[in-house]
Amino acid sequence: MSFKNILLEKKDGVAEIAINKPPLNILDLEVIQELNEALENVKKDDTVSIVVLRGAGERAFSAGVDIRDHLPEKVQELLEAFHKIFFSLKELDRPTIAVVDGYALGGGCEVAAACDIIIASEKSAFGQPEIDAGVFPPPATVLFPKLIGRRKTLELILTGDRIDAKEAERIGLVNKVVPAIELQNTVDELVGKLRAKSPIVLRLTRKAVYQAFDLDFEDGLAAVTDIYLKSLMKSEDAVEGLKAFLEKRKPVWKGK
């Protein structure tokens, strides 16, 4: 599958998707539609166990959605296509890593936040400047309170202020911040750790977290237990992992 604004590469169970619209990887409707196509392609590929999402170049993950597509005649189509990205990321059923090297603003910040893990370089900046254009960011209003709390969410969205990578890490928006020169090695190390795990156990663990996320403890624990007993414990890899631990050997994963 070929794209105009997206780079998609698959290797050794890892799919890397790059937004490729220099210099700032702005998300216009065409880019958003291609990103959705790339995510759908990955979702259907059972050989992929990890997804890495990044912006091409060294200036931005993405500096946001094209303001021209926010105007009344296009906005409904834009929002439907843009919001599909978030449903697709959640439903991918495998770990997603956002790699941020530069700006992650507006819609770009929201897409990164929708990934399971964010690794950022020290030069990165995050923010939701929509308020300055007279609008607000729908996905951020839903995602951010769960990630960074209500008060910080309101501060960022109401002021439109940018924060640097260290502050984003401090408030829990970003998992890890490293010097730009160490960014790729840090991502490779994380991917290597995940690749050493059972792909099916990764999927089921991630599913369990999302399944219980919006439930109270009792209902959430019941939902997770159901996945544990009916899916996890019926997988060959779960049995192999337990036996390998008891036998003090390295497990041999089959991915099923």
Residue among 189, 188, 207 at smallest CA distance from 199: 207
**What separation in angstroms does the CA of 148 have from each of 104, 135, 187?**
16, 21, 23
Instruction: Please state whether beta strands 14-19 and 6-11 pair in parallel, antiparallel, or not at all (unpaired).
Output: antiparallel
Give the C-alpha separation, 24 to 103, whole Å. Answer: 8
Catalytic-labelled residue, pool 58, 73, 91, 110: 110
Give the C-alpha separation, 235 to 229, whole Å. Answer: 10
Residue with tokens 């392609």: 41
Residue with tokens 């960011």: 137
Supply φ then ψ for residue 164, to 5 degrees: -80, 175
Is 189 an active-site residue? no
Provide the 8-state DSSP code for 225. Answer: H
The CA angle 14-117-236, to the nearest 5 degrees, is: 55
Whether residue 23 is preceded by a cis peptide bond, meaning omega within 30 degrees of 0, is yes
Catalytic-labelled residue, pool 16, 34, 130, 169: 130
Is 130 an active-site residue? yes
Residue among 64, 106, 114 at smallest CA distance from 85: 114
User: Mind telling me the catalytic residues?
Assistant: 110, 130
